[in-house]
Amino acid sequence: MATNRTFTMIKPDAVENGHIGGILNMIAEGGFKIVSLKLTQLTLADAKAFYAVHATRPFYGELVEFMSRGPIVAAILEKENAIEDFRTLIGATNPADAVEGTIRKKYATSIGENAVHGSDSDANAAVEGAFHFAGREQF
C-alpha cells in the first residue's frame, strides 16, 4: 500500500553551493509537506550502509566518499503519490538528461554530484527514512 511518503537528501554538493533554501522552496512549491527535517552528516560507514544496494557498482567508492564529505539535509516528505511525483520533480539521475523545471536541471552538476536523492519505492522510503529519523521525529 502506498504510504504517500518519500525520503530525500539534499546532497553535499548542493549544501556546499548554498542551495538548501532554493531546493526546499522547490519542494514546498511542488506541494510536498515536510514531516521530518535535519542538517546532518553521514560517516563513511553510514554512507556505505545507506548505499549498500549499490556496493557492486563501479561508482560505489566515489559515491560513498562524496556522500560523506560534508553536511546533507535529510527529510521525509508527504504528498499523494509522493514517490513518483518527487522523482518527477527532481528529474533524471544524470542532470544532462533532466528536463527544465526540475531540481537537478537547476542545481545538479554531474551524474555523481546530482544535488538530491529521492527514494525509488515505498519500501525503500520507509527504510531510508528510518535510517535518519526516530519515530518521534516523524510528524
Question: Which residue ranges are tagged as binding site for ATP?
Answer: 11, 59, 87, 93, 104, 114
* Comparison of 97 and 139: residue with beta carbon closer to ligand CMP: 97
Can you list the positions of beta strands (E) in the chain?
Answer: 5-10, 33-40, 72-78, 116-118
- How many residues does the structure list for the chain? 139
Q: Does 63 interact with ligand CMP (rule: CB under 6 A)?
A: yes
Options 24, 111, 126, 127; binder of ligand CMP; rule CB under 6 A: 111
Q: Does 112 interact with ligand CMP (rule: CB under 6 A)?
A: yes
Considering only residues 78 to 97 of the shown chain, the ones binding ligand CMP according to CB under 6 A are 93
Q: Does 132 interact with ligand CMP (rule: CB under 6 A)?
A: no
Options 117, 128, 132, 133; binder of ligand CMP; rule CB under 6 A: 117
* Comparison of 95 and 133: residue with beta carbon closer to ligand CMP: 95
Which pairing describes strands 5-10 and 72-78: parallel, antiparallel, or unpaired? antiparallel
The identity of residue 26, as a single letter, is M
- The C-alpha atoms of residue 68 and residue 46 are separated, in whole angstroms, by 8
Q: What is the largest CA-CA distance in the chain?
A: 39
What residue ranges bind ligand CMP (CB under 6 A)? Answer: 54, 59, 62-63, 93, 111-112, 114, 117
